[in-house]
Each structure stands twice: as structure tokens, then as C-alpha cells.
Amino acid sequence: MNRSYRPRYGVPARSPRQKEKQFEKLRATELYCPKCGRATPVRERLLLVLPEGDKYEYLCVYCGTSLGDKIERGEPKQLVVL
């Protein structure tokens, strides 16, 4: 008896708190960049998905230096400015 319809991936590890906002957000945030020597616009990049929230990193749009990060839990209401 050959069962070829066995699922290969076990239980789908889906968190009940799964978010559907994977799109990149545009923000008018500016942070001070030590390399550029002034406040620059930043790019927000999703770095990690943690149990307590999504961790984002802020990168200078000009030189790519990491200027900070934040953890976004649920609603996008908290913003860490260094």
C-alpha cells in the first residue's frame, strides 16, 4: 500500500497573531545620521518577526547606515526616535 499523499510539511506553524501588513510603509521620519552629519529621511525595513512584535530597522536613505530600530506590536502607534 503506497500512500503518496502524505503531507510533507507537518503542522503549519501559524501564530494566531499573524499580521497581514507586509507591505513597505513610507514614512516621513527623519533621524540624525552620523555619517551624513545631519538628519536624513529613513527607510523602514522589516528585520525580524518576534513573538512580541515585528522588529523594524531604520536605514539612512543616502548611506544605508542603521539609525535605529523599533518593535511594532499590533498597531503602528509607537515610534522610537533616538
List contacts with Zn ion (CB under 5 A): 33, 35-36, 60, 62-63, 65
Residue pair 53/74 in contact by the 8 Å Cβ criterion: yes
Find the shortest distance in angstroms from Cβ 67 to Zn ion. 8
Say which amino acid occupies 42: V
Q: CB-wise, 36 or 47, nearer to Zn ion?
A: 36
Find the shortest distance in angstroms from Cβ 26 to Zn ion. 18
Find the shortest distance in angstroms from Cβ 76 to Zn ion. 24
Residue 18: C-alpha distances to residues 14, 51, 67 (Å): 7, 10, 27
